[in-house]
Amino acid sequence: MKLLIVDDEVIIREGLSTVIKWEENGFTLLPPAASAEEVLMRMPLERPDVILTDIRMTGKSGLELAHEVKKSYPDTEIVILSGYEEFTYAQQAIREGISDYLLKTSRPGEIMAAAVRARQRIEKKRTALREGEEHQSAFRFKLLERMLSGDQPVTERELQEILHHYPELRVASEWESLELWFVTAAEALPALSEADHGIAETDSMLREALSCVLLDWKGGWLCIFRSGQAGAARVIRMAMERAELALGMRLFAASGLPAAHASELRESVRTAEQASAYRFLLSESGVVKYEDIRTRTGMRTVCSQKEEEELTAVLRSRDLDQLDRWISAALEGIKRDPMATPGSMKAYLHSYLVAAFRWLERAAASVGQSAADFPQLESLDLNRLDVQPDEVLKKILSAAMSHYGRLSGGRNAAIETAIAYIRDHLDQSLTLSQLAAAAHMNPNYFSELFKRETGKNYIDFVTEARIEWATRLLRETPAKISEVARRVGYEDLKHFNKLFKRYTGETPSSYREQRFR
């Protein structure tokens, strides 16, 4: 809070500046002024919050100064400190909007108290203004949100209110339209108002380059701007690259149909959301337009007998690497299908899971057992099959593989439980006691049995699983190496680098470089 002392007597202004401990009470003391004219000249640049002034001075009086300041800077608080106790001065001071009227004989504590009261009034006004602006901003966003997604159209008056506060949405001529892009990721994106420095820079770059409206929208961001701006696509790609580096995750941008007028943006949002559902199918491009996918009719929704047999052969092998290769090949085949849609892909993959479960039931029945304790498909969360199908398939099919191993006299069931626990908790601390508890066994016996069943002690097994996960993250995501280390359970980056090189023969950075050449 900046405070300026004004008096034409040097001894007074210097005394007030040095005797009273302004800084200790939260004020920034500006160099004192010798006249009202000097204050008026310095006001535009220094903008003091509180002015402490004498009444009678050479040139303009303190009351004239108050009148001039209040005319141009109405929020400035003015405290009169005068040697005159006449009532007429106090009356005029009130008319000029002066906060306090004190005598120069007042004690330092009284002067400071008056300055603090002035500061409190300023803070109260600013808080009320900020809360009012926040309320107005929330109200405007609710109006815009209703226009973009509500069931009922906004009124003409509400539309004009939106355009008044979002002038970027005004279309100047019949040759111009509005473009709308919806940016998402595998995880919910942070709110723009709460994002870190890297995202704030991206926000500013987009607003300046495209004169756009940016909004938080259903776990992602909406960007709306007028068409015809040179290099718009390039700006969006650059902004996405910056945001990806800041967030350590891959982003996907989808555009809807252009809108000839702001009132038509609801259809732009709907079609952008439809295009956004293709994030997995078209992830390599990073962007998609609704026009590019609107003619897709869907791929076949049921796997063939031959494909079902290939899957069951993989499951019988109980080889997780082979399962990974099968999943990758199946998903790549889907991506190459020019008619594939998220819904048809989900149905097609679901048919594989149904086939796997039926095979498991037959296998259990053949040895006089039951697959009843294997999770039924209806109880599993399949909503992410069209978003992260690789993860969903790996989780369910590897569980089916493990269950088959138990049915066919494979590994000890307790060890299978421990291995499943390891794979589900790789990003956490994994102690021998924890694993033994998960398997309901004594730690010493568990350690011996684990090595006998897997051929490795539990530490080596956990480390190899973590490094395997890390290699996949380095290949498939733009995440920083430090973030990869943290996600696979290593807070110490040096320790992670050492282990990674021991198991792969390369450092994480060189491994990533080799794979992207």
State pLDDT tens for residues 137-180: 666 778 888 888 877 778 888 888 888 888 888 887 778 899 99
Q: Which of 395, 410, 425 is the last residue of a domain?
A: 410
User: Which residue range is the domain that position 345 belongs to?
Assistant: 296-410
With 0-12 / 13-18 / 19 or more C-beta atoms within 10 angstroms meaning exposed / middle / buried, residue 434 is middle
| 79 closest CA partner among 129, 26, 120 | 120
Same domain, 109 and 6: yes
**And the tokens for 485?**
């280390």
Q: State the amino acid at position 258 in one-letter form.
A: P
Residue 418 included in any domain: no
Same domain, 192 and 97: no
Q: What is the largest CA-CA distance in the chain?
A: 110
Residue 17 included in any domain: yes
Same domain, 278 and 208: yes
| 253 closest CA partner among 316, 311, 201, 206 | 206
Residue 382 neighbours by CB under 8 Å, 6+ apart: 346, 350, 353, 392
CATH of the domain at 70: 3.40.50.2300
Same domain, 227 and 253: yes
Number of folded domains that form the chain: 3
Residue 307 included in any domain: yes
CA distance 409 to 27: 79
| 420 closest CA partner among 390, 446, 400 | 400
| Residue 7 falls in which region: left (phi positive, over 0), alpha (psi -120 to 50) or beta | beta
CA distance 497 to 502: 9
CB 66 within 8 A of CB 94: no
Residue 500 included in any domain: no
**And the tokens for 434?**
């924890």
HEC-encoded secondary structure of 152-186: CCCCHHHHHHHHHHCHHHCCCCCCCCEEEEEEEEC
Same domain, 282 and 174: yes
401-410: long-range contacts at Cβ-Cβ below 8 A with a sequence spacing of 24 or more? 401/315, 401/318, 401/320, 401/323, 402/318, 403/360, 403/371, 403/374, 404/315, 404/316, 404/318, 404/360, 404/363, 405/318, 407/360, 407/363, 407/364, 407/367, 407/369, 407/371, 408/363, 408/367, 410/318
Q: Which of 277, 293, 309 is the last residue of a domain?
A: 293
- DSSP-based three-state secondary structure for 202: helix
State pLDDT tens for residues 1-56: 999 999 999 998 889 999 899 998 899 999 999 999 999 999 999 999 999 998 88
Q: Which of 259, 293, 327 is the last residue of a domain?
A: 293
Q: Which residue has the tokens 């900020």?
A: 130
pLDDT recorded at residue 154:
80
State pLDDT tens for residues 257-269: 999 998 899 999 9
Question: Which pLDDT band holds residue 273 (cuts at 50, 70, 90)?
Answer: very high
Residue 305 included in any domain: yes
Question: Which pLDDT band holds residue 372 (cuts at 50, 70, 90)?
Answer: low
